[in-house]
């Protein structure tokens, strides 16, 4: 009986050893799996900046010097001539310029049947305070009346400062045109209509566009650039039976 007990105890020990050994061979507790990383949200793309419109240079009233020169291609009825405007004098109130060109043929707006010739030379005056064109004189020749002097004068009223130019600004004025017995006077309004890029023979310029009206009619469109301190393009429909277009060819500061 004692042998059986002994044998039974040995068997129990062997079974216990096998059980413990089996657990050991299994490597113990299974390792806890590493959690899979949750993907992070994709970064928000950087917004592309919207290009801003080029604003022409502003600044105060331009300052001219004696000797400043602008050369224009002036076209009338598909015929182009060269006009050279040079500052000849300056005082506290006005700049005076001379405009040289070869004789050109024109027809006046009121008397379209009468051909005339603009003789070599024209003069202009501009106010120093606002750079308004206050006077223009030119010599013209007609078969019937001979040589005449064409004079235009302008006076302007600025409710606020004209400079720096800003879109939407406007001012008023009065034009007087005098050619021998023909005299005309009218009220005008000038509006800074918009900014615009303009290409002329001298290059491409960011400009302020100024529009002058007399009553309901547009008589003058001008594109001003601070780069040349003056107009780079002008479409004039004041005197002649067809518009006259000026485009800057070159600018030479003193």
Closest CA to 251 of 118, 110, 65: 65
pLDDT recorded at residue 10: 42
pLDDT recorded at residue 57: 73
Asked whether the CA dihedral 54, 57, 219, 65 is positive or negative, the reply is negative
Residues of the chain with pLDDT > 70: what percent? 76
CA 187 to chain centre: 28
User: Which run of H or E residues covers position 171?
Assistant: strand 170-179
Residue 128 pLDDT > 90: yes
Lowest mean pLDDT across 22-31, 158-167, 203-212:
22-31
Is the separation of the CB atoms in 224 and 232 below 8 Å? yes
The structure's pTM equals 0.77
pLDDT recorded at residue 36: 53
Helix runs in the chain, H state only:
2-25
Residue 44 — φ and ψ, nearest 5°?
-70, 125
The residue to which tokens 């592309």 are assigned? 48
- Angle, CA 220 vertex, CA 214 and CA 226 arms, to 5°: 130
**Ordered DSSP codes for 104-132:** EEEEBSS-TT-EEEEEEEEEEEEETTT--
Is the separation of the CB atoms in 193 and 167 below 8 Å? yes
Is the separation of the CB atoms in 96 and 122 below 8 Å? no
Q: What is the mean pLDDT of the chain?
A: 83
208 or 59, which is more confident:
208
**Ordered DSSP codes for 173-200:** EEEEEEETTEEEEEEEEEEEEEEEEEEE
Is the separation of the CB atoms in 152 and 140 below 8 Å? no
Largest CA distance in the chain: 164
Residue 136 pLDDT > 90: yes
What CATH number has the domain spanning 69-252?
2.40.360
d(CA 247, CA 83): 10
For the chain, give every domain's residue range. 69-252
pLDDT recorded at residue 183: 85
């Amino acid at each position: 009986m004692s042998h059986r007990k002994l044998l039974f105890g040995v068997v129990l020990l062997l079974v216990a050893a096998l059980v413990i050994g089996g657990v050991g061979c299994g490597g113990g507790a299974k390792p806890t799996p590493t959690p899979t990383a949750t993907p992070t949200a994709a970064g928000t793309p950087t917004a592309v900046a919207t290009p801003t419109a080029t604003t022409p240079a502003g600044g105060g009233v331009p300052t001219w010097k004696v000797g400043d020169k602008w050369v224009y291609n002036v076209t009338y009825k598909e015929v182009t001539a060269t006009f050279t405007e040079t500052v000849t004098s300056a005082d506290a109130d006005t700049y005076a310029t001379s405009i040289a060109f070869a004789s050109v043929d024109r027809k006046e707006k009121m008397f379209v049947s009468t051909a005339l010739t603009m003789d070599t030379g024209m003069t202009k005056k501009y106010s120093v305070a606002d750079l308004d064109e206050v006077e223009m004189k030119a010599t013209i020749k007609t078969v019937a009346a001979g040589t005449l002097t064409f004079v235009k004068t302008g006076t302007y009223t600025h409710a606020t400062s004209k400079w720096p130019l800003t879109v939407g600004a406007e001012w008023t004025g009065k034009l007087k045109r005098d050619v021998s017995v023909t005299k005309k006077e009218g009220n005008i309004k000038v509006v800074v209509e918009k900014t615009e890029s303009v290409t002329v023979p001298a290059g491409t310029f960011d400009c302020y566009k100024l529009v002058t009206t007399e009553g309901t009619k547009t008589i003058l469109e001008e594109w001003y650039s601070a780069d040349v301190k003056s107009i780079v393009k002008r479409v004039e429909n004041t005197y002649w039976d067809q518009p006259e277009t000026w485009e800057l060819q070159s600018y030479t500061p003193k």
